[in-house]
Amino acid sequence: MSLSSGDRTQKSNTKPHTGATALANTTWLASQQRKAAHQPFQPRPLKMVANMEGKITGARAPLTSRQAVGNTPVKKPEQVEKKVTRAPSLTSLRVRDEKKYTSAQATARHVEPQFDLGHYDGGLERDENKGRRDTTSKAKVDSDTLAMDSSLNGLNHQPTKQWSLAQFEIGRPLGKGKFGRVYLARTKPTSGTQAPQQGYVVALKCVYKKELIENKVDLQLRREIEIQMNLRHPNVLRMFGYFHDHGRIFMMLEFAGRGELFKILSKLPNRRFDEATAARYIAQIADALQYLHSKHIIHRDIKPENLLVGIRGEVKIADFGWSVHAPGNRRATLCGTLDYLPPEMVEGKTHSVAVDLWAMGVLTYEFLEGVPPFEELSGASMTYKRIAAVDLHVPSHFSEEAKDLVRSLLRYNPAERLPLSKVLRHPWIARHDPQAATRAARFTLEHD
């Protein structure tokens, strides 16, 4: 699907001319302006560069006579003739050509590749029918259902703009889940202007109201939106906004250009990162979790599938479906992923932010070994038993510093797990990410 119009260029050969020839050239230019006045405006293609928030900046070519006709009246030939007094000198022509050549060289060096949204597969239309089927069921959804009102005290964040699907150019699908899909999308240029305004590339997540209600996860989605809309951290996936129609809810998420960390890990030999890469990722995740915990938010589902990688290689925590805002309270809900559950959840006890510390230990182990530490192919019951007993066997190929960090996080007693501030200062992290300790110190000063 093409999202930008082609660019039209004009070539001219510049030579010294007599006054009569220069006058003829000027008359020809005026005739071209008259023709251009009757041609529809075609925007030049944007040279796309995605920044951390998905914003697109366009390097535009200089305004041409064809683009300027909407604001500047075309002069008649006789009006132009009165201004032509002499032909340009050889010196002025040479200087002008040198400037044009230098400018063209600079532009060629800095032109960014076109940002391609990819091919839209039409899933939104098909899924819209799916979302509206069987209107006689008990789970009938009307237009007021899931209006996304606030459900958490202190986290109310109303949308700042009314959005609709018509305001987006839809690109290739990025993923598909139980309740919907995620598409690469871009906001359309602002209407009523002669040149398109800057657009925003986002990951547009579409979920279906009926399926949410049938599976009793509608309140979970409300909580996810309320939490994620209020988070601002470079290692937390940003949610820019949301909107909904009769059968669907759309979430405008930051586009992480390199995709799921799980897929990156799966393509590596033995599904392992080297220790330097693993340490840098763990430091960024610890930094983000420290921020979340300062907001009294427990993620509760840290795992490779819920971590995305940005275009610059930075990791971002995503999927806040199991997250909870719990200031001063302990939780008792059994949630998350089996291999990452801590002993207190397995045993049905209450839990706190320490569940994220346990998950950090499991994640570190999986980054370096390729599998979670308590995984049992014989069945879930054996995995539960190993977790409850903290039956941990650290491979010999781990460095001593890595072994120490894993053992410091995978402690049965939640109070004994290494706090995030000390994770960022741990020797294993410090060796591979020297700036982590500085970030931890700055965070402590800001929140003391």
Cβ(344)–Cβ(351) below 8 Å: yes
205 assigned ligand-binding residue: yes
d(Cα 350, Cα 358) in Å, to the nearest integer?
A: 14
Query: Is 254 marked as a binding-site residue?
Result: yes
Q: Is the dihedral of CA 92, 96, 99, 101 positive or negative?
A: negative
CA 183 to chain centre: 11
Query: Annotated binding residue at 256?
Result: yes
Q: Are 170 and 185 in contact (CB under 8 A)?
A: yes
Alpha helices in 295-337 (DSSP H): none
Residue owning tokens 């020809």: 28
Q: Which two tokens stand for residue 56?
A: 């697109």
Residue 55's CB is within 10 A of a number of other CB atoms, namely 13
In angstroms, the Cα distances linking 228 to 42, 130, 443 are 38, 27, 20
- The answer to whether residues 42 and 5 touch, using CB atoms and an 8 Å cutoff, is yes
Q: Say if strands 307-309 and 180-187 run parallel, antiparallel, or are unpaired.
A: unpaired
376 assigned to a ligand binding site: no
Q: How big is the CA angle at 433 (ends 431 and 437), to the nearest 5 degrees?
A: 95
**301 among known catalytic residues:** yes
- Residue 349 assigned as binding residue: no
Q: Which of 127, 218, 287, 301 is catalytic?
A: 301
Backbone angles phi, psi at 169, to 5 degrees: -95, 120
Output the six-digit token pair for 335.
Answer: 């949630």
Query: Is there a binding annotation on residue 188?
Result: no
Q: Does 263 belong to an annotated binding site?
A: no
Residue with tokens 């008990």: 138
Beta bridge partners of 297: 325
Q: Which residue type does 97 have?
A: D
Q: Which residues of 275-310 are buried (b: 16+ CB within 10 A; e: fewer)?
A: bebbbbbbbbbbbbbbbbbeeebbbbbbbbebbbbb
- 121 marked ligand binding residue: no
Q: How far apart are CA 92 and CA 16, in angstroms?
A: 10
**Rg of the Cα atoms in the chain:** 29
What region, left, alpha or beta, does residue 33 occupy, with left being phi > 0 and alpha being psi -120 to 50 degrees? alpha
Q: Which of 372, 253, 361, 271 is nearest to 316 (CA)?
A: 253
Q: How far is CA 375 from CA 32, 79, 305, 371, 387, in A?
A: 73, 84, 16, 7, 9
Going by the annotation, the residues of the binding site are: 178, 205, 254-256, 305-306, 319
Active site residues: 301
Going by the annotation, the residues of the binding site for ATP are: 178, 205, 254-256, 305-306, 319
